[in-house]
Amino acid sequence: MPEPIRVRGSVVVPDAELVWRFSRSSGPGGQHVNTSDSKVELRFDLASSKALPEVWRERALERLAGRLVDGRVLVIHASEFRSQWRNREAAAARLAAVLGEACAPPPKTRRATKPSRGMVERRLFNKRHRSELKQGRQAPRGE
């Protein structure tokens, strides 16, 4: 079994809350692909999980609402490798990344600021300077 799935910090999803399903993959593998179940489907019931703190679970349910099946189960598919083992590792890593991002605290709100007076003056000076340079390149008008 792969490493335990670490969400953020010390929060780990126990194996008991994960449901693994395997099926035949359509990817590379030659004749072997017709006989082995290398495609991995990992299901995690987010709504009834006891592993995540309540605040994190609510945040994840809100952020992942469009990805959840029946509004509660997160499903991850992995079939990019030939071996079931590597696909299991890929699915576990993907689940950890998705949950970690969904449980992250919201970013700090941006405070609107004004450019400093010196910055405004420098910008306007540079605009005037550039304009004068370009004016100097023009051919004199026929007067």
Domain with 35 in it: what CATH number?
3.30.160.20
Distance CA 128, CA 95 (A): 54
**Least confident span in 23-37, 56-70, 122-136:** 23-37
The verdict on residue 71 lying in a domain is yes
The verdict on residue 47 lying in a domain is yes
The verdict on residue 94 lying in a domain is yes
Domain containing 55 equals: 5-103
Q: How many domains are contained in the chain?
A: 1
> For residue 4, is pLDDT > 80?
no
> For residue 47, is pLDDT > 70?
yes
The verdict on residue 54 lying in a domain is yes
The per-residue pLDDT of the chain, averaged, comes to 86
The verdict on residue 51 lying in a domain is yes
3-state secondary structure of 5: strand
Distance CA 48, CA 72 (A): 8
User: Are 13 and 5 spatial neighbours (Cβ–Cβ below 8 Å)?
Assistant: yes
The verdict on residue 91 lying in a domain is yes
The verdict on residue 128 lying in a domain is no
Distances in whole angstroms, Cα of residue 58 to Cα of each of 46, 100, 138: 9, 13, 64
> For residue 69, is pLDDT > 60?
yes
Q: Which secondary-structure segment (H or E) carries 40?
A: strand 39-45
The verdict on residue 25 lying in a domain is yes
